Structure 1
Amino acid sequence: MAHFCTKCGTAHAPGARFCDECGKAVNAAPAPAPASVPAAAAAAAATPALSGVKRRHVMIAGGVLAVVIVAGGALAWLLAPEAASAGSFSRAIDAHLAADEAARDKLLCLTNLPYQKEEIRVASYDSSTRQWLDILVRSGLYAAPVEQSSGGWIAQSQFVYALAAPGKAALRGDKLCVAKGVKVAKVSGYDQVRDLGAQHVAMAKATLTLTDEAAWFAKSADRALILERLPDGDLQVRLPLALVDKQWQVIDETQMSQAAMSGVIGKASAVQGAGMLDKLKSAFRFGGHPAVGKWQAAMGNVLEFTSDSVINNGTSTKATFTTKGNTVTIAPEGAGEAAMDIIVSDDGSTAQISMGGVRVTTLRRVRN
């Protein structure tokens, strides 16, 4: 049977090794089959593969352990009590003022006059009220006053302030408000946390800034004078905070007193009577009030406030005192006596007397 070269097609002998025409190899011997691999060599070859599998298992196990450690750390962080800081105190105060409309309105709204009335009549001698309403006239809330006679047996001159359309739009119920909200600009007190045993408490001092200001107030040239008429005209508040459910929250002073009392009882249950009160006072200054002492008014007369009375030119009148931060509300006993607020400065050297939300005079502390 003839054989042909696969390259050039030339016939060649059956036993030829190369094509006589083109030289291509023909009838090449098949490659020898590989020798069988010894069992030991096969085992040696398998060992690295097994080692790689083990390494992968170790790496996977190590990764799982790392995830568990990280997850455990994250869980511990989530379950840990919130640290006392400027951020946590600001968040707590902002949340409190956003949720408590009454507390917010006390900071932002004026209730010293019946603003919901169409007219406010002011006696000619009441210069303080007239000055305030003149500010509102300049702010566009009231028309310019008209002087009238009160009539009657003893006629008196009075000024009538008529509520203008912008004034009606600015009212919130019977209150005149300068803004819709506030937020914390600066806070302190987070570095003075007290451990009362069952609870951690602190007294924070926050400086606030207005948000969403009323249009009439935003464009008023008398912003500073208007702010002075607010109960907290400097936009500074003191608020008690406690760690509740591992988060700092604003609480009221009654809750603070209860927390302080509980802490004192828990730490010294054997203390009784006056000793208990002294301990409570030292733990958290709820005894007395910031206005205790002698004060000289602008006219020269001296007022003295004790824990339960007001002494004016040697005449003592029993009174009740309610304290909120640096503001002391004094309600003298007896008919005809109006309550007044004493707003004590941070350093305790001066104070402002306010009646019905209107600042009356400045007091200076008399040092013994």
Structure 2
Amino acid sequence: MDSHRRRMVLWGGALAMALTGACGIAAQRWLPKTSVAPAELLEAMSNAIANGQVVPGRDPICVANGLAYDKEPVNVQTGNTATLSWMDMLVDAGLYERPVGGQSGGLLSQSISIYRPLPELARWGGGRRLCVARAVRLDAVSNVGPVEDMRLRGKRYTGVLADVRWRLDDPAPWLAIPGVSEALAHELPGWRSARWQPGPHGWALTQRKSFVLVDSRWTAGDAVERAAPTRTNPDPM
């Protein structure tokens, strides 16, 4: 092999080694952590809440279905089976008295059932809505997915998806009455694209959320998405 070819082979080998090394560094650079414990993500979510970056529901969790849940009696036509069933459930919850019969009055008087509120309703009703809890609270993080590359606000991060579970904070005591929770769960509006579900340990709502590494610490994806662009910590080029 002549000297020129020998130099080409050596140069090519050196280039290949350099590229291999660079690729290895890049792979190591972008290779995410292999796993993360749910407790780390729970801490990240708790920190985001404490710092005001993620605000859980601080408003009461309520039903607003057109009935006026106040001091006035609720009059229901005897043929309105859906509303009668709803009001009978509220009777079981201890919010209304058992109905008494009556007439609506007027030229086209109709038979009605009259439900009179009990004192307990004043704690949870008003403003044409019926509330079941004062707020929500963070409960747990579980079902952690694989750590992988993730983009938030157009930036690249090492991230992971996990289930974040919330619970009712200061729930109404009558939710524990059989049949009441199930009926109310169907009437409550969705909360942040999820639905409340009653269970043996109380009401729970589960959301699939993202978490990303920022300055080597796990951070709730919600906090990153809501932060100003100057506060994000994207990977450098």
Shorter-chain TM-score bucket reads 0.5 to 0.7
Relative distance call for 1:195 and 1:131 in structure 2 (3 A) is same
Tell me the CA shift for residue 193 of structure 1: 5.0
Q: Report the counterpart of residue 109 of structure 1 in structure 2.
A: 62
- Relative to the length of structure 1, the TM-score reads 0.37
Q: Does 1:150 align with 2:121?
A: no
Aligned-residue CA RMSD (Å)? 4.0
Q: Determine the structure 2 residue equivalent to 1:169.
A: 123
Match of 2:55 in 1: 99
Secondary structure of 1:125's partner? Answer: coil
Aligned counterparts, 1:299-318, within 5 A: none
Alpha carbons of 1:188 and 1:163: their partners in 2 closer, same or farther (altered >3 Å)? same
| Higher RCO (C-alpha under 8 Å, 6+ residues apart) | 2
- Offset from partner CA, 1:163-212 (integer Å, 9 cap, x none): 21111123376543333333324533543655126144655433444443
Flag the 1:190–1:89 CA change in 2: closer, same or farther, 3 A: farther
Taking the TM superposition and a 5 Å limit, the aligned residue runs for 1:72-91 are 84-91=36-43
Deviations along 1:307-350, one digit per CA (max 9) or x if unpaired, are: xxxxxxxxxxxxxxxxxxxxxxxxxxxxxxxxxxxxxxxxxxxx
DSSP-derived class of the 1:136 partner: helix
Count of aligned positions: 171
Rg: which structure is higher?
A: 1
Contact in 2 for aligned 1:88/1:248 (Cα 8 Å): no
- Report SS of the residue matched to 1:212: strand
CA distance in 1, matches of 2:162, 2:106: 54
**In 2, distance between residues paired with 1:206 and 1:155?**
53
- 8 Å Cα contact 1:122/1:130 also seen in 2: yes
Asked if 1:233 is matched to 2:187, the reply is no
- For structure 1, list consecutive stretches of 5 or more residues without a partner in the other structure: 1-80, 260-368
CA–CA separation in structure 2 for the residues paired with 1:123 and 1:148: 9
Q: CA deviation at 1:142?
A: 0.9
Partner of 2:164: 206
Query: For residues 229-273 of structure 1, what are the alpha-carbon distances to aligned partners after superposition, in whole Å with 9 as ceiling and x for unaligned?
Result: 333231333254353855422539xx59xx9xxxxxxxxxxxxxx
Aligned to 2:30: none
Q: 2:106 corresponds to which letter in structure 1?
A: G
The one-character-per-residue Cα deviations of 1:100-135 (angstroms, maximum 9, x if unpaired) are 335x64xx4322233235222323233222212211
Q: Which amino acid aligns with 2:63?
A: L
Aligned-residue offset at 1:143 = 1.4
Change in 2 beyond 3 A, CA 1:240/1:126:
farther
Identity over aligned residues, as a percent? 24
Consecutive unaligned residues of structure 2, counting only runs of 5 or more, are: 1-32, 190-194, 198-203, 230-237
Q: Secondary structure at the match of 2:68?
A: coil
Equivalent-residue separation in structure 1 for 2:114 and 2:97 (angstroms)? 9
Q: Secondary structure at the match of 1:251?
A: helix
Q: Look up the SS of the partner of 1:236 in the other structure.
A: strand
- How many Å separate the matches in 1 of 2:80 and 2:160? 43
**Normalization by structure 2: what TM-score?**
0.54
Identify the residue that residue 143 of structure 2 maps to in structure 1.
188
Q: Is the 8 A contact 1:118 1:162 kept in 2?
A: yes
**Equivalent residue letter for 2:98:** A
State the 4+ residue runs in structure 1 displaced beyond 6 angstroms: none
Distance, in Å, in 1 between the alignment partners of 2:36 and 2:45 is 13
Deviation of the 1:137 alpha carbon = 0.8
SS at match of 1:158: strand
